[in-house]
Amino acid sequence: MYIVTADEMRAVDKATIDFGIPGRILMENAGRGAARILLESFPGIGAKKIGILAGRGNNGGDGFVVARYLAQKNIDVNVYLLSKASLVKGDALANLELLNSLGVPVIEIDNRKSFLNNRISMRHADVWTDAIFGTGLKSDIEDYIKDIIIFINSLKKPLMAVDIPSGIDSDTGQVRGEALCACVTATFGYAKTGHYLHPGAGYSGKVEIIDIGIPPLVAGRIAPKQGLLDDGIISSYLKPREKDAHKGTNGHLFIVAGSPGKTGAAAMTAMAAMRAGAGLVTIGVPKSLNPVIEPMILEAMTCPLPENTEGFLSESSFDAIIHNLAGKKCIAIGPGLGTDASTKKLVINILRDMALPVILDADGLNMLAGETRLLKKLKMPVILTPHPGEMARLTGKKISQIQEDRISSARDFAVEFNVHLVLKGAGTVIAHPDGSVFINPTGNSGMASGGMGDILTGLIAGFVAQGYPAEEAARIGVYIHGKAGDDIADSVGPFGYLASDLLKSIPAQIGVLMDS
């Protein structure tokens, strides 16, 4: 499903109005839909006092419509207008005047003093609706409105946000000064990227999308560049196997991984690839580690490779790796590989010579730092799977800069270097060379433990080995990885499970998706 930026949503709104559907109608549909979500989300609301925080713009106008529908159901509702009424214009003003005609109380709060004068009455509200800023927020929230948001949050009363919680940047999900925390968000037309990027996802609660009458052809003309992964999208990618399929038709993956003390990463990557359905997997490891790796994996093959005196793969491994790529469908490089200088030279040489799709992770990414210009010269599909720290090393930015705008960080890199980039973390972002971006909603904080990235690398590589296009393999792998983590968390607890615990759940998740 589409998810949009603030600019894209404004373009959709304008195009809809130009199409012939007045803004007043869109506001009516939005407010009516939000009122329905409010009533459905909080049972027994008819006997409660409702407070609506409204700004002077169109988000406030949506709130005025919500208030009208509540009042018409004889629900006790007060509107707290965080502005002078004289500053309200356009469609919002028209809906404010309807409230005046119905006798709905509208209390103006346009400074700290008026806020302090109304604190006692505000405490009496049982349920709140936030219609202050929406997607129109352009700067950090300050002054008395910041005080009001802190106050409302401190009451710990149920709250519904209109479009997006006030204070959340609708593009990045970042908190702009202070933000209201909602149980549910009623958003209009399309969900916004900030609903699914953290910390915005935590402030948005359950996101309900309201159809406000935007014609599909209008959205098609705007063509938003972001999507949210879901079961339907992933199911559409997965292909049933032919009845006469055998291991040779399901792809052969070669993994370059492992170093002293890091053999587990190589083994988990291999096992995850096989759980994803790869027909054959071979792990290329330093020859001194081969006796360690072999007992760890029963189904995958190993390929002992030349190593340097410290036990790391080095340039001397290059010829053996290239020789063993015959008949392989893709190569994964990096899990547990180490960052020895000679290993870095090996990785760079492999990339320069490679004609197969490449999945680059962990130490493979760390060794690419400072050499990213090489990516522009590569002709085969490349998938990078950095966490924010690795992304910072690749780009030369601070981790905080990466996290402040995860979509732009991933998209800009993917477009510039013609790669598929999986920026891991809560709300993993998958960006492609054409500028399209997908956000993944699966997964949980219990997955923040060692080895989870190795499982993901194996999953993505396993799907590439089976012949899935790189962009689809990246999306499928990320989504199923998170689904498996959610399944384990539901069955054993929110944290404390291991990366290897996901392995048995992966085929079940694939099966559920293929049957849906």
Show Cβ contacts of residue 455 under 8 Å, excluding neighbours closer than 6 positions: 268, 269, 272, 481, 499, 500, 502, 503
Count of residues for the chain?
Answer: 516
**Amino acid letter, 493:** G
DSSP letters for 40-90: HHSTTGGGSEEEEEE-SSHHHHHHHHHHHHHHHTT-EEEEEESS-GGG--H
CB 298 within 8 A of CB 322: no
Q: Please list, in sequence order, all residues whose beta carbon lies within 8 angstroms of the beta carbon of residue 207, skipping any fewer than 6 positions away.
A: 184, 185, 187, 191, 195, 196
Q: CA geometry: angle at 444 spanning 443 and 448, to 5°?
A: 105
| Overall average pLDDT of the 280-292 stretch | 97
Q: How far apart are CA 152 and CA 157, in angstroms?
A: 8
Tell which residue, 331, 333, 329, 361, has the closest CA to residue 465.
329
| CA gap 434, 432 in Å, rounded | 5
**Per-residue confidence (pLDDT) for residue 219, from 0 to 100:** 79
CA 487 to chain centre: 19
- The pLDDT of residue 84 is 97
Cα–Cα distance for residue pair 249/238, rounded to 1 Å: 16
Task: Name 159's bridge partners.
Answer: 128
Mean confidence (pLDDT) of the chain: 96
Q: What is the average pLDDT across 114-133?
A: 97
Q: What is the pLDDT of residue 387?
A: 97
Mean pLDDT of 459-476: 98
pLDDT of residue 205: 97
CB 390 within 8 A of CB 365: yes
- The percentage of the chain sitting over the pLDDT mark of 90, rounded to a whole number, equals 95
What pLDDT was estimated at residue 482?
A: 98
Q: Look at residue 222 in the predicted model and tell me its pLDDT.
A: 81
**Tokens, residue 44:** 């027994």
pLDDT band at 187 (very low <50, low <70, confident <90, very high): very high
pLDDT reading at 137 higher than 90: no
List, as one string, the DSSP characters of 427-452: T-EEE-TTS-EEE-----GGG-STTH
State pLDDT tens for residues 238-251. Answer: 999 989 999 999 99
Q: Which percentage of the chain shows pLDDT scores above 70?
A: 100
Domains of the chain: 2-223 (3.40.50.10260), 231-515 (3.40.1190.20)
pLDDT at 136 over 90: no
Q: What is the pLDDT of residues 302-343, one digit of tens each?
A: 999 999 999 999 999 999 999 999 999 999 999 999 999 999
Residue-wise pLDDT for 381-425, tens only, equals 999 999 999 999 999 999 999 999 999 999 999 999 999 999 999
The pair phi, psi for residue 265, each rounded to 5°, is -60, -45
Instruction: State residue 157 phi and psi, 5-degree precision.
Output: -95, 155
The predicted-structure confidence for 208-239, as pLDDT tens digits, reads as follows 999 999 998 887 888 889 999 999 999 999 99
Rounded Cα–Cα distance for residues 417 and 419 (Å): 6
Residues 6 or more apart from 138 whose CB is under 8 A from it?
none
Give the whole-angstrom CA distance, residue 397 versus residue 413: 12
Residue-level pLDDT at 420: 98
Q: Does position 167 have pLDDT exceeding 90, yes or no?
A: yes
Q: What are phi and psi of 429, to 5 degrees?
A: -105, 130
